[in-house]
Chains A and B, each alone.
Chain A
Amino acid sequence: MDEEYEVIVLGTGLKECILSGLLSVDGVKVLHMDRNDYYGGESTSLNLNQLWKKFRGEEKAPEHLGASRDYNVDMMPKFMMGNGKLVRTLIHTDVTKYLSFKAVDGSYVFVKGKVQKVPATPMEALKSSLMGIFEKRRAGKFFSFVQEYDEKDPKTHDGMDLTRVTTKELIAKYGLDGNTIDFIGHAVALHTNDQHLDQPAFDTVMRMKLYAESLARFQGTSPYIYPLYGLGELPQAFARLSAVYGGTYMLNKPECKVEFDEGGKVIGVTSEGETAKCKKIVCDPSYLPNKVRKIGRVARAIAIMSHPIPNTNDSHSVQVIIPQKQLARKSDMYVFCCSYSHNVAPKGKFIAFVSTDAETDNPQTELKPGTDLLGPVDEIFFDMYDRYEPVNEPELDNCFISTSYDATTHFETTVADVLNMYTLITGKQLDLSVDLSAASAAEE
């Protein structure tokens, strides 16, 4: 291991693996290490025995649940938006060749005491039971406005400057009611709380457009896609990309200790008595605990079931968003379900997750509104984990630390963090726009 690298990456979480892949493709000499003997870190997927060991402290799961290896239980469940940043990154790097994807069956929102399908087009809005007939007309006009909106074409702006007009003001113009505002803001624009209402509307409109574009991308019943065998495939795919371009991989490296010079600048990493030198470190928060601060906790439940989530039209993969206001909370609650259809469980089994930013110390009680939607469960686990963000100055110490994964069931925040880190590390912006046009062109 005694060697020199430009960048040493610690932890094989998805963020770290994407960065490792991008840097290796750029010709950077990368060493990537992890204390575990598997890829994924906090964002890995576990088989059944691993799940039992982590949450029950037992070596083996009950046999009636099926073969351990048939389970791929995500520790950070999230769906990918069809037109979103992660898909663009996959296409940009050609990592799609290592993966297989399937559309997610359903996208739902919990509003007015019911689980309801999220409409994202004027057509769907008209069919939806989410809104009464007059509200449908108003919402249809709003959706049409969003669909037509083009930042560069003032004729589509309807006389409003969306970089000044707030979301609340925009919505008031169309006279939408509180429940409609909730499902649009949380289940279409995917905001995690209500703060967006007082912000300029541009961001919300662009998010709504992303949702509609993602829905149209694969002409599915939801805007989301998800890999076969679960999300643990993604870190491995990007790690392989890095390896193909010369990245060196060392799993099962305990006690990766980051070394600094007198000036506080990173100089290398020591593990098992050997030191590798480097100019920069990229890592998840657990490898440099003194350089991060806690920013919250996530409460989560993981359930094994033998049926789809009720009221989702028998969806084998589904997201249900519960907007904060429906529960009198500060942030949304997310319900995510996948199944043997995506090869993450044996035939007939479903895996469901409920997660939210924790506001209490009792995950079981706090998550009840979400777990109540699941129906009967075969097994359920409750957990809380801390979230961290970096507080160091990368230009001083050359350490680039990722932020912990949030409770959302989609990847947009994750990739935004990665792209920001990439720019900090390299000084370059990653251009992800051309590739998608090429992809679209290929489809014509």
Chain B
Amino acid sequence: MPSRRRTLLKVIILGDSGVGKTSLMNQYVNKKFSNQYKATIGADFLTKEVQFEDRLFTLQIWDTAGQERFQSLGVAFYRGADCCVLVYDVNSAKSFEDLNNWREEFLIQASPSDPENFPFVVIGNKIDVDGGSSRVVSEKKARAWCASKGNIPYYETSAKVGTNVEDAFLCITTNAMKSGEEEEMYLPDTIDVGTSNPQRSTGCEC
């Protein structure tokens, strides 16, 4: 099944609680947004078929399911990621400052074979809040941090109104694709244990 490697791409989304990770996923995959905030319940992973050039990919986007709130993600969550998305809220200085910790945590837990070149994408979300007047992290500052960490691509989004979400995920897909191709992983034959389709979308608005 080496072909499975080239068609299924795992993307994980990291960041502090409340920055809008689940909303970004839902906006991208389901074109939905919910104003009702709860620390994530019911979000799992979502899949989306993506056509790129002449090939079809299944993007498997993993939410943290709320386990990031008390730093309790397990190593299995990180394993096999093809791209890591770091999300912060432009209205929360702390969530931006924590990006460094999230990036370091990813590199420790996932142990990619080429850490210098592993693809990250940074998203500054919630640019719509109060028309931008409560913003505390400037775009310039964010871009400088991204440049200092190996020129990480940077996008500013609003999951609520959909601003730039599509563009951000196009970049994520492109980078995940390159990563997926470069890694030659040993993939043993696996068996189907259950009735569930592992690529089936699940989750609800949060």
Contacts and interface: CB of A to CB of B under 8 A. Distances in A.
Interface of A: 38-39, 67, 69, 87, 90-91, 94, 96-103, 218, 220, 225, 228-229, 232-233, 236-237, 239-240, 243-246, 248-252, 340-343, 347, 435, 438-439, 442
16 contacts: A38-B74, A94-B196, A96-B193, A96-B196, A97-B198, A100-B190, A101-B193, A102-B189, A240-B67, A240-B77, A251-B72, A342-B188, A435-B195, A438-B195, A439-B194, A439-B195
A342 to B, nearest CB: 7
Interface stretch (B26-34, B40-48, B93-101, B173-181): B40-48
B146 interface: no
B20 interface: no
Contacts of B41: 244-246
B76 A237 contact: yes
B190 A228 contact: yes
A301 to B, nearest CB: 25
B186 A101 contact: no
A241 to B, nearest CB: 9
A243 B66 contact: yes
A94 B67 CA distance: 19
Contacts of B137: none
B97 to A, nearest CB: 21
A251 B42 contact: no
A91 B186 contact: no
Interface residues of B, number: 29
A102 B71 contact: no
Interface of B: 41-44, 65-67, 69-72, 74-77, 79, 111, 186, 188-191, 193-198, 200
Which A-B residue pairs are the 9 nearest by beta carbons? A96-B194, A249-B72, A236-B74, A243-B65, A236-B76, A91-B194, A251-B72, A100-B190, A69-B111
B59 to A, nearest CB: 16
Given A439-B194, A439-B195, A442-B195, A236 B75 contact: yes
Contact of B195 (A91, A102, A233, A236): A91
Given A91-B194, A218-B191, A250-B70, A38 B75 contact: yes
Most buried by A among B65, B111, B189: B65
A248 B69 CA distance: 8
Given A244-B65, A248-B69, A251-B70, A101 B190 contact: yes
Contact of B43 (A98, A244, A251): A244
B111 A341 contact: no
B193 A233 contact: no
